Amino acid sequence: MGEIIVDLQGIVKTYQTGEVSVPVLKGIDLRIDAGEHVAIMGKSGAGKSTLMNIVGCLDRPTAGDYVLAGHPVSRLEDDELSGIRGKTIGFVFQSFHLLGSMTVMENVALPMEYQNVPTAQRHARATELLERVGLGHRLGHRPNQLSGGERQRVAIARSLSNRPKLLLADEPTGNLDSAGTRKILALFAELQAESGFTMIVVTHDPAIGNAAPRLVRVADGLIVEDRR
């Protein structure tokens, strides 16, 4: 057993919509070791994205404790969280979220800028990553000139630019066809084997979920199954 990267204890998330409080996460305990590959499944509205947002420090839990790679983060201020996100976590979203005003290259280099990586190094790293995901010939293109699968590969390259310990992917293949899906999943597997990051993927696809070394099933704000 290696280092614990994600340690969630009694995580509760309640949304307040007007007078009504909506409990979405009702007490999540989850521990993930460094280097693990975890799939999260569950019905729509079960709270998977809410959980991912908390794990990714995009949101704070209403109650409970979260220790990320040894740092207690559940009480940190917003700007401390954004620092941790940039350094430790890579994100891949269903709808890519690339910046349309920038080239592919600039998109991938951008997260390194917030970690004060020098320009030359940023360019070298971005080029290397884009070549690695098979887009070495598209460096100067804009995201809207690429296909969905290509965009997601840019997003993956971007998510890895700061060598994160933790890669979070919320339905990364949700907008792709089956061929695109297969390519992206293969890429994830290769990259993880090379770099050894921890990976959490939310998916609706049972084939993907069942193929993962560990599967966590969420229903109605609680973990109902954790299979290794």
Contact residues for other proteins, defined by CB under 8 A: 44-45, 49-50, 53, 56, 58-59, 78-79, 82-83, 85-87, 91, 93-95, 97-102, 106, 110-111, 113-115, 158, 162, 170-171, 174
* Residue whose CB is less far from Mg ion, 49 or 203: 49
Q: How many CA atoms lie within 13 A of 32 on its CB side?
A: 30
Strand order in the sheet with 20-33: 20-33, 4-17, 63-68, 71-72
Phi, psi torsion values for 6, nearest 5 degrees: -120, 125
162 binds Mg ion (CB under 5 A): no
* Residue 128 beta carbon to Mg ion: minimum distance, rounded to whole angstroms: 32
Which option in Mg ion, ligand ATP, other proteins, none does residue 162 bind, with CB closer than 5 to 8 A by kind?
other proteins
Among 6, 28, 36, 50, binds ligand ATP (CB under 6 A): 50
**Which has the closest alpha carbon to 47: 221, 217, 224?**
221
* Residue whose CB is less far from ligand ATP, 44 or 101: 44
Scanning 44-52, 103-111, 142-150, 191-199 for contacts with ligand ATP by CB under 6 A, the matching segment is 44-52
18 binds ligand ATP (CB under 6 A): no
Cβ contact 113:122 at 8 Å: yes
Cβ contact 90:159 at 8 Å: yes
Count of residues that bind Mg ion according to CB under 5 A: 1
> Looking at this protein, which amino acid is placed at residue 75?
R
Cβ contact 208:201 at 8 Å: yes
Q: How many residues does the chain have?
A: 228
Helices (H), the chain: 48-55, 78-88, 104-113, 119-132, 148-159, 178-195, 206-211
Count of residues that bind ligand ATP according to CB under 6 A: 12
* Residue whose CB is less far from ligand ATP, 49 or 88: 49
Residues 22-41 binding ligand ATP (CB under 6 A) are 22, 24
Looking at residue 69, the DSSP 8-state letter turns out to be T
* Residue whose CB is less far from ligand ATP, 89 or 105: 89
Q: By the criterion CB under 6 A, which residues form the site for ligand ATP?
A: 15, 17, 22, 24, 42, 44-50
